[in-house]
Protein backbone atom coordinates (compact mmCIF):
# COMPACT_ATOMS: atom_id res chain seq x y z
CA UNK A 1 0.00 0.00 0.00
CA UNK A 2 1.32 3.46 -0.91
CA UNK A 3 2.12 5.87 1.87
CA UNK A 4 -0.46 8.59 2.42
CA UNK A 5 1.39 11.87 2.11
CA UNK A 6 0.25 15.47 2.22
CA UNK A 7 -1.42 16.27 -1.08
CA UNK A 8 -3.49 18.92 -2.82
CA UNK A 9 -6.40 18.00 -5.05
CA UNK A 10 -9.80 18.90 -6.40
CA UNK A 11 -12.76 18.24 -4.11
CA UNK A 12 -16.01 17.11 -5.72
CA UNK A 13 -19.27 18.01 -3.91
CA UNK A 14 -21.65 15.07 -3.42
CA UNK A 15 -24.31 16.22 -0.93
CA UNK A 16 -26.44 13.07 -1.24
CA UNK A 17 -27.05 11.25 2.05
CA UNK A 18 -26.80 7.46 2.43
CA UNK A 19 -24.51 6.86 -0.56
CA UNK A 20 -24.30 3.09 -0.25
CA UNK A 21 -21.79 0.57 -1.56
CA UNK A 22 -24.14 -0.55 -4.33
CA UNK A 23 -24.19 3.01 -5.64
CA UNK A 24 -20.40 3.08 -5.42
CA UNK A 25 -19.89 -0.19 -7.31
CA UNK A 26 -22.95 -2.22 -8.41
CA UNK A 27 -23.09 -5.95 -7.80
CA UNK A 28 -22.38 -6.95 -11.43
CA UNK A 29 -18.80 -5.71 -11.04
CA UNK A 30 -17.99 -7.79 -7.96
CA UNK A 31 -16.79 -10.87 -9.85
CA UNK A 32 -13.15 -9.79 -9.90
CA UNK A 33 -10.72 -10.02 -6.99
CA UNK A 34 -8.34 -7.56 -8.65
CA UNK A 35 -8.09 -4.14 -7.07
CA UNK A 36 -7.51 -2.39 -10.39
CA UNK A 37 -9.88 -1.56 -13.22
CA UNK A 38 -12.88 -0.84 -10.99
CA UNK A 39 -12.59 2.94 -11.14
CA UNK A 40 -14.23 2.99 -14.56
CA UNK A 41 -17.39 1.59 -12.97
CA UNK A 42 -17.44 3.80 -9.88
CA UNK A 43 -20.95 5.30 -9.47
CA UNK A 44 -21.86 3.33 -12.60
CA UNK A 45 -25.61 3.92 -12.53
CA UNK A 46 -25.12 7.64 -11.88
CA UNK A 47 -22.30 8.18 -14.39
CA UNK A 48 -23.68 6.30 -17.40
CA UNK A 49 -27.01 6.22 -19.21
CA UNK A 50 -28.68 3.05 -20.54
CA UNK A 51 -26.57 3.26 -23.71
CA UNK A 52 -23.31 3.39 -21.76
CA UNK A 53 -22.71 7.07 -22.50
CA UNK A 54 -21.50 9.47 -19.82
CA UNK A 55 -24.20 11.54 -18.14
CA UNK A 56 -22.75 15.03 -18.48
CA UNK A 57 -24.54 16.46 -15.46
CA UNK A 58 -23.05 13.96 -13.00
CA UNK A 59 -20.41 15.72 -10.94
CA UNK A 60 -17.51 13.35 -11.69
CA UNK A 61 -18.22 13.58 -15.42
CA UNK A 62 -17.78 17.35 -15.49
CA UNK A 63 -14.43 18.44 -16.89
CA UNK A 64 -13.15 20.12 -13.74
CA UNK A 65 -14.21 17.36 -11.34
CA UNK A 66 -13.28 14.35 -13.49
CA UNK A 67 -9.84 14.39 -11.87
CA UNK A 68 -11.12 14.89 -8.31
CA UNK A 69 -9.15 13.16 -5.56
CA UNK A 70 -11.41 14.30 -2.69
CA UNK A 71 -15.14 13.83 -2.18
CA UNK A 72 -17.13 16.06 0.17
CA UNK A 73 -20.20 13.94 0.86
CA UNK A 74 -23.53 13.85 2.62
CA UNK A 75 -24.19 11.93 5.84
CA UNK A 76 -23.74 8.17 6.26
CA UNK A 77 -21.35 7.55 3.38
CA UNK A 78 -20.58 3.92 2.50
CA UNK A 79 -23.64 2.31 4.07
CA UNK A 80 -25.14 -0.93 2.76
CA UNK A 81 -23.30 -4.19 2.14
CA UNK A 82 -19.72 -4.60 3.30
CA UNK A 83 -18.15 -5.04 -0.16
CA UNK A 84 -14.46 -4.16 -0.17
CA UNK A 85 -14.77 -3.46 -3.90
CA UNK A 86 -16.21 -0.04 -2.92
CA UNK A 87 -12.93 1.44 -1.61
CA UNK A 88 -11.08 -0.42 -4.38
CA UNK A 89 -13.20 1.40 -6.99
CA UNK A 90 -12.75 4.76 -5.27
CA UNK A 91 -9.00 4.37 -5.07
CA UNK A 92 -8.72 3.14 -8.65
CA UNK A 93 -10.63 6.23 -9.79
CA UNK A 94 -8.14 8.39 -7.90
CA UNK A 95 -10.04 9.26 -4.72
CA UNK A 96 -7.67 9.62 -1.76
CA UNK A 97 -9.92 11.27 0.81
CA UNK A 98 -13.63 11.36 1.63
CA UNK A 99 -15.08 14.00 3.94
CA UNK A 100 -18.44 13.47 5.62
CA UNK A 101 -20.20 13.77 8.95
CA UNK A 102 -20.55 9.99 9.30
CA UNK A 103 -19.55 6.71 7.67
CA UNK A 104 -20.74 3.12 7.86
CA UNK A 105 -18.33 1.32 10.21
CA UNK A 106 -17.17 -1.45 7.87
CA UNK A 107 -16.66 0.91 4.94
CA UNK A 108 -14.82 3.36 7.23
CA UNK A 109 -12.33 0.69 8.32
CA UNK A 110 -11.96 -0.69 4.78
CA UNK A 111 -10.91 2.76 3.59
CA UNK A 112 -7.94 2.86 5.95
CA UNK A 113 -6.92 -0.65 4.89
CA UNK A 114 -6.87 0.48 1.26
CA UNK A 115 -5.02 3.77 1.61
CA UNK A 116 -8.03 6.11 1.62
CA UNK A 117 -8.50 8.67 4.40
CA UNK A 118 -12.11 9.07 5.59
CA UNK A 119 -12.52 12.29 7.60
CA UNK A 120 -15.42 12.91 9.96
CA UNK A 121 -16.35 16.56 10.51
CA UNK A 122 -19.18 18.49 12.14
CA UNK A 123 -22.11 19.58 9.97
CA UNK A 124 -20.87 23.16 9.98
CA UNK A 125 -17.31 22.33 8.93
CA UNK A 126 -18.53 19.90 6.26
CA UNK A 127 -20.85 22.56 4.84
CA UNK A 128 -18.00 25.07 4.61
CA UNK A 129 -16.04 22.58 2.50
CA UNK A 130 -19.12 21.63 0.50
CA UNK A 131 -19.55 25.28 -0.45
CA UNK A 132 -15.86 25.45 -1.43
CA UNK A 133 -16.17 22.31 -3.53
CA UNK A 134 -19.18 23.75 -5.38
CA UNK A 135 -17.11 26.72 -6.58
CA UNK A 136 -14.52 25.69 -9.15
CA UNK A 137 -12.05 28.39 -8.07
CA UNK A 138 -12.23 27.26 -4.41
CA UNK A 139 -12.40 23.51 -4.92
CA UNK A 140 -8.67 22.85 -4.50
CA UNK A 141 -7.87 21.65 -0.97
CA UNK A 142 -4.81 20.28 0.75
CA UNK A 143 -5.06 17.26 3.05
CA UNK A 144 -2.31 17.24 5.67
CA UNK A 145 -2.66 13.95 7.54
CA UNK A 146 0.46 14.40 9.64
CA UNK A 147 -0.84 17.65 11.14
CA UNK A 148 -4.50 16.62 10.79
CA UNK A 149 -5.58 19.68 8.83
CA UNK A 150 -7.67 20.38 5.74
CA UNK A 151 -6.23 23.53 4.19
CA UNK A 152 -8.65 25.59 2.12
CA UNK A 153 -7.81 27.54 -1.02
CA UNK A 154 -7.39 30.81 0.85
CA UNK A 155 -5.03 29.25 3.40
CA UNK A 156 -7.17 28.86 6.51
CA UNK A 157 -7.64 25.33 7.77
CA UNK A 158 -10.06 22.95 9.46
CA UNK A 159 -8.71 20.43 11.96
CA UNK A 160 -9.85 16.83 12.04
CA UNK A 161 -9.45 13.86 14.38
CA UNK A 162 -8.08 10.48 13.36
CA UNK A 163 -7.23 7.33 15.30
CA UNK A 164 -3.49 7.33 16.02
CA UNK A 165 -2.93 3.74 14.93
CA UNK A 166 -4.86 4.20 11.68
CA UNK A 167 -2.92 7.41 11.06
CA UNK A 168 0.37 5.58 11.61
CA UNK A 169 -0.64 2.88 9.15
CA UNK A 170 -1.61 5.36 6.44
CA UNK A 171 1.49 7.50 6.85
CA UNK A 172 3.67 4.41 6.58
CA UNK A 173 1.69 2.63 3.88
CA UNK A 174 0.85 -0.36 6.06
CA UNK A 175 -2.15 -2.58 5.44
CA UNK A 176 -2.79 -5.79 7.42
CA UNK A 177 -0.19 -7.69 5.39
CA UNK A 178 2.35 -4.91 5.77
CA UNK A 179 1.84 -4.85 9.53
CA UNK A 180 2.41 -8.61 9.68
CA UNK A 181 5.56 -8.39 7.56
CA UNK A 182 7.05 -5.86 9.97
CA UNK A 183 7.34 -8.80 12.37
CA UNK A 184 8.65 -11.26 9.78
CA UNK A 185 11.95 -11.79 11.61
CA UNK A 186 10.19 -12.60 14.89
CA UNK A 187 7.80 -14.91 13.05
CA UNK A 188 10.73 -16.71 11.39
CA UNK A 189 12.52 -17.08 14.73
CA UNK A 190 9.38 -18.48 16.35
CA UNK A 191 8.83 -20.94 13.51
CA UNK A 192 12.43 -22.13 13.74
CA UNK A 193 12.22 -22.69 17.51
CA UNK A 194 8.82 -24.34 17.19
CA UNK A 195 10.10 -26.65 14.48
CA UNK A 196 13.11 -27.62 16.61
CA UNK A 197 11.01 -28.18 19.71
CA UNK A 198 8.29 -30.13 17.94
CA UNK A 199 10.24 -31.76 15.15
CA UNK A 200 7.94 -34.77 15.35
CA UNK A 201 4.88 -32.68 14.48
Domain membership of residue 96 (yes or no) is yes
CA distance 13 to 73: 6
pLDDT of residue 32: 81
- Considering the domain boundaries, does residue 168 fall inside one? yes
**Measured distance CA(7)–CA(170) in Å, rounded:** 13
pLDDT (0 to 100) of residue 180 = 62
The span from the first CA to the last CA of the chain, in angstroms, equals: 36
CATH number at residue 62: 3.20.19.10
Count of structural domains, the chain = 1
Domain coverage including residue 59: 7-174
DSSP letter for each residue of 54-119: B-TTSGGGSTGGGG--EEEE-SSBTBSS--THHHHHHHHHT--EEEES-B-HHHHHHHHHTT-EEE
Secondary element (H or E) of residue 142: strand 140-144
Residue 77 confidence (pLDDT): 98
∠7-13-14 over CA atoms, to 5°? 120
Confidence band, pLDDT 50/70/90 cuts, at residue 36:
confident
pLDDT of residue 1: 86
**151 phi and psi angles, rounded to 5 deg:** -100, 120
Residue 89 has pLDDT above 70, yes or no: yes
Indicate whether 98 belongs to any domain: yes
CA distances from 163 to 117, 160, 170 (A): 11, 10, 11
pLDDT of 71 strictly over 90: yes
- For residue range 122-181, what is the model confidence (pLDDT) as tens digits? 999 999 999 999 999 999 999 999 999 999 998 999 999 999 999 999 999 987 666 665
- Measured distance CA(183)–CA(146) in Å, rounded: 24
Please give the pLDDT value at position 53.
Answer: 96
Amino acid sequence: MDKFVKFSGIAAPMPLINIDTDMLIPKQFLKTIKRTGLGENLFFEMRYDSNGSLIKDFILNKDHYSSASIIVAGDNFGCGSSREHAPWALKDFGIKCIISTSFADIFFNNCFKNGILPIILSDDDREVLMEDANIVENSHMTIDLDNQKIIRKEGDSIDFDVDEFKKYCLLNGLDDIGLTLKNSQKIAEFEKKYSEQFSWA
